[in-house]
Structure 1
Amino acid sequence: MTIVMDKDALNAFLARDFPQVAGSYRVEAVRATGLTARLITGDDHLRPGGTVSGPSMFALADLAIYCAILARIGPVGLAVTTNASIDFMRKPAAGVDLLAECRVLKLGRVLAVAEALIFSEGVADPVARCSMTYSIPPKSSDFRAV
């Protein structure tokens, strides 16, 4: 598959169009089949007990899958999540970033399906698994970043 946006282009897109997440999330690598994204964990991502919150892990998966799709179709700002499922499998390790290994399973004209495995950095077993479907708007209504 052809890569349209590399990690630098995706990170620039996030910084420009989603500044609220640019300081906490970063695309680390882009591959033909998917990408790796990082959650730079901080106190604002923790819940009582010192573990990373479920909403923070969900946001990482959503961002990773969104960026994996954009890496292939370009900066379509109106591509949106239409379905999501997440399984929390174990408590993330304390004091380390989380990494999402994302894979695009199907990229159609209207829908894209992808999955992400989330890992504590340096730990082999995943802490969560997420699958999502995204709706891709028709070309005539694309909101493309300039």
Structure 2
Amino acid sequence: MQIVMDAEALNVFLAREFPQVAGSYRVERVDPQSVTARLTVDEANLRPGGTVSGPSMFALADLVVYCAILSRIGPVALAVTTNASIDFMRKPEAGRDLIAECRLLKLGRVLAVAEAMIFSEGGAEPVARCSMTYSIPPKR
């Protein structure tokens, strides 16, 4: 699949269209096989017990899948999640950022299916795995 938006273009798009996430999430890499994004973990992402909250991990997965799709189809702000499943596999480390790696499994005209693996920065084992389906609006 051809890359239409690189990491910098995706970050500019996120800052413009979703300023509420621009400070915490950043696309770090786009290549033909995957997209990588980071959640800068701070106190707002933590829950009791010193771990990153599930909603924070889900938001990172959703963002990296969205960006993987946009990296191939361009800035389509109205592409939306239609299905999601997440497996929380181990406790993320509170003092480390989270890194999500997304692989597009299918990119069609109206649906995209992707998988995201989330890691604590520097960790070898994933802390979560997410499968998502997105609906892509028709071209005008």
Partner secondary structure for residue 139 of structure 1: coil
Partner secondary structure for residue 124 of structure 2: coil
Q: CA deviation at 1:83?
A: 0.2
Q: CA deviation at 1:33?
A: 2.2
Distance 1:128 1:137 in 2: 28
Equivalent in the alignment of 1:113: 113
Equivalent in the alignment of 2:74: 74
The one-letter code matched in structure 2 to 1:87 is D
Structure 2 contact 41–94 (Cα < 8 Å) conserved: no
Distance 1:42 1:13 in 2: 23
Structure 2 contact 34–68 (Cα < 8 Å) conserved: yes
Counterparts in 2 of 1:1-146, with a 5 A limit? 1-140=1-140
- Runs of 4+ in structure 1 over 4 Å off: none
Equivalent in the alignment of 1:143: none
Q: CA deviation at 1:59?
A: 0.1
The one-letter code matched in structure 1 to 2:94 is A
Q: CA deviation at 1:20?
A: 0.2
Q: TM-score normalised to the size of structure 1?
A: 0.95
Q: TM-score normalised to the size of structure 2?
A: 0.99
Q: CA deviation at 1:24?
A: 0.3
Kindly provide the CA deviation profile for residues 18-59 of structure 1, in whole angstroms up to 9, marking residues without a partner as x.
000000000000011220000000000000111000000000
| Identity fraction in percent | 79
Give unmatched runs, 5+ long, in structure 1: 141-146
Partner secondary structure for residue 20 of structure 2: helix
Structure 2 contact 46–94 (Cα < 8 Å) conserved: no
Kindly provide the CA deviation profile for residues 82-116 of structure 1, in whole angstroms up to 9, marking residues without a partner as x.
00000000000120100001000000000000000
Partner secondary structure for residue 11 of structure 1: helix
Distance 1:10 1:50 in 2: 31
Distance 1:3 1:30 in 2: 8
